């Protein structure tokens, strides 16, 4: 059974940093991607970043480019999201998600993903 477990959330002041982790287990496929999404109260879930292990491509939402960095550790089956220069508007529950068979998928569309973690809260105080 595929499991995704996020950690690293917390409360930080604006301008601070946090590093989120997503530990994945229960799969052996090589053709997959892991995305980070976030959902603020009253808003739709939005794609933040994605890393594809199929072609090693990386994508970011415009709102986080230059501030967030996604990376992975294949040996640990983990994906990380380093978040720097955090802003109040980054406050949300952050989720990681797994997509199998990445051909033709839109990384920022939550409906394209197959498995989700439980989420971790990030709160940025201004």
Please tell me the predicted confidence (pLDDT) of residue 37.
98
* Residues of the chain scoring pLDDT < 50: none
Please tell me the predicted confidence (pLDDT) of residue 4.
97
Please tell me the predicted confidence (pLDDT) of residue 56.
86
Please tell me the predicted confidence (pLDDT) of residue 30.
82
Indicate the Cα dihedral angle 83, 87, 91, 92, nearest 10°.
-50
Q: What's the CA gap between 108 and 75, in Å, rounded?
A: 26
Is residue 32 classed as helix, strand or coil in its secondary structure? strand
């Amino acid at each position: 059974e595929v499991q995704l477990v996020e950690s690293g959330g917390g409360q930080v002041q604006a301008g601070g940093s946090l590093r989120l982790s997503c530990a994945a287990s229960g799969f052996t496929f090589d053709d997959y991607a892991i995305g980070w999404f976030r959902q603020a109260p009253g808003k739709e879930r939005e794609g933040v970043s994605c890393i594809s292990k199929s072609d090693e491509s990386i994508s970011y939402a415009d709102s986080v480019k230059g501030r967030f960095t996604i990376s992975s550790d294949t040996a640990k089956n983990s994906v990380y999201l380093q978040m720097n220069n955090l802003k109040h508007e980054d406050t949300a529950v952050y989720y990681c998600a797994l997509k199998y068979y990445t051909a033709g998928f839109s990384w920022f569309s939550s409906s394209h993903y197959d498995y989700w973690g439980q989420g971790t809260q990030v709160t940025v105080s201004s």
